[in-house]
């Protein structure tokens, strides 16, 4: 197994639950990606900030090289091993001066995966700063029992699909900001407590979140599909995602949206808020 991560970096990830910063995309790649995703919104008369959230790389196939990028996978390989699946990818786009935030939460609370060989890469297409709402993490929380969560209040600015947040208080001095230059990434464990504030800058804050997992992981909820991006899948726990050369391919959209009633809009933009088990399913359903 080869990895671009040093033993010290791997020790930090295992102990603290995250690593940052690490190199990912070049400045030129970031510029091209930004132009492409903003053009996507114009081409389809859609809000890219809303639509490119659930399996964005399938809705916009030009993103597939971005989730397969060697600098990202070389780092992820050190954490997950040589066989890697991409479970999903989402853009978190905060408008300048907007109210959008990401409430404190742990992905492990609602992802229903075992074991926990799952990590999230967060790439800054625009520099991620204190001013524009850089992601914050609470080191070591991936080793603690998952905290209780509850529904966000009505009118919340929380960007999460599930509209959930941790039902505990997080002190400011517990958190570490993952400040990133353009093209840098952080990697965090799915169990770490994390969130981010509003964008108080004069430009969009654009982050690309990509979830990777080892093929031996099982998922007990509805999103049991993934794309092999490195190595081989010798377990077959995940249905292989369809890949098209067309943006917003109707057949691909139907595949993505089928588990959620066929509605591709994010939960927070629907008229009716979902039940708390929107993404979850009993383990007996696996």
Cβ–Cβ < 8 Å for 226, 203:
no
pTM over 0.75: yes
Instruction: Give the H/E segment covering residue 22.
Output: strand 18-23
Task: Taking the CA atoms of 230, 9, 107 and 185 in sequence, report the sign of the dihedral they define.
Answer: negative
Task: Taking the CA atoms of 189, 194, 198 and 202 in sequence, report the sign of the dihedral they define.
Answer: negative
Q: CA–CA separation, 152 vs 123, rounded Å?
A: 26
Q: Any residues with CB less than 8 A from the CB of 106 and at least 6 apart, and which?
A: 141, 146, 147, 149, 166, 190, 191, 192, 193, 194
> What pLDDT digit, counting tens, does each position of 131-143 carry?
999 999 999 999 9
Return the pLDDT at 155.
Answer: 84
Instruction: Give the H/E segment covering residue 220.
Output: none
> What pLDDT digit, counting tens, does each position of 152-171 carry?
888 889 998 778 899 999 99
Burial 232-257 (b: 16+ CB within 10 A, else e): ebeeebbeebeeeeeebbeebbebbe
Residue 128 to residues 131, 135, 200, 216, Cα–Cα distance (Å): 8, 8, 12, 33
**DSSP reduced 3-state for 63:** helix
Q: Which residues pair with 5 in a beta bridge?
A: none
* Closest of 209, 19, 185, 44 to residue 111, by C-alpha: 209
Phi-psi region of 145 (alpha: psi -120 to 50; beta: other; left: phi over 0): beta
> What pLDDT digit, counting tens, does each position of 53-99 carry?
889 999 999 999 999 999 999 999 999 999 999 999 999 999 999 99
Mark the ranges of the chain whose per-residue pLDDT is less than 70. Answer: 1-2, 260-286
Return the pLDDT at 172.
Answer: 87
Q: CA–CA separation, 64 vs 87, rounded Å?
A: 12
Strand 225-230 relative to strand 239-240: parallel, antiparallel, unpaired?
parallel
Query: How many Cβ atoms are within 10 Å of 98's Cβ, its own excluded?
Result: 16
* Closest of 190, 80, 211, 194 to residue 135, by C-alpha: 194
Q: Residue 210, preceding bond cis, omega within 30 degrees?
A: no
């Amino acid at each position: 197994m080869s990895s671009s991560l040093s033993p010290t970096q791997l020790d930090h990830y295992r102990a603290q639950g995250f690593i940052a910063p690490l190199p990912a995309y070049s400045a030129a790649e970031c510029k091209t990606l930004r132009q492409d995703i903003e053009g996507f919104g114009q081409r389809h008369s859609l809000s890219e900030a809303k639509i490119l959230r659930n399996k964005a790389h399938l809705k916009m196939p030009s993103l597939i090289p971005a989730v397969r990028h060697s600098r990202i996978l070389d780092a992820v390989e050190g954490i997950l091993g040589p066989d890697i699946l991409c479970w999903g990818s989402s853009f978190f786009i905060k408008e300048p001066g907007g109210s959008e935030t990401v409430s404190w939460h742990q992905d492990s609370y609602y992802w229903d995966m075992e074991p926990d060989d799952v990590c999230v890469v967060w790439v800054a297409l625009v520099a991620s700063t204190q001013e524009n709402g850089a992601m914050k993490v609470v080191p070591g929380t991936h080793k603690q029992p998952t905290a209780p969560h509850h529904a966000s209040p009505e009118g919340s600015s929380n960007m999460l699909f599930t509209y959930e947040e941790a039902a505990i208080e997080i002190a400011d001095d517990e958190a570490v900001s993952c400040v990133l230059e353009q093209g840098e990434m952080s990697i965090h464990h799915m169990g770490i407590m994390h969130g981010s504030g509003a964008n108080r800058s004069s430009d969009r804050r654009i982050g690309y979140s990509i979830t990777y997992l080892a093929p031996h992981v099982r998922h007990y909820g509805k999103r049991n599909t993934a794309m092999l991006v490195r190595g081989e899948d010798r377990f077959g726990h995940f249905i292989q995602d369809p890949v098209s050369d067309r943006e917003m391919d109707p057949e691909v959209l139907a595949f993505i949206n089928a588990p959620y009633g066929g509605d591709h809009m994010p939960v927070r933009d629907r008229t009716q808020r979902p039940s708390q088990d929107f993404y979850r399913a009993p383990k007996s359903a696996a």
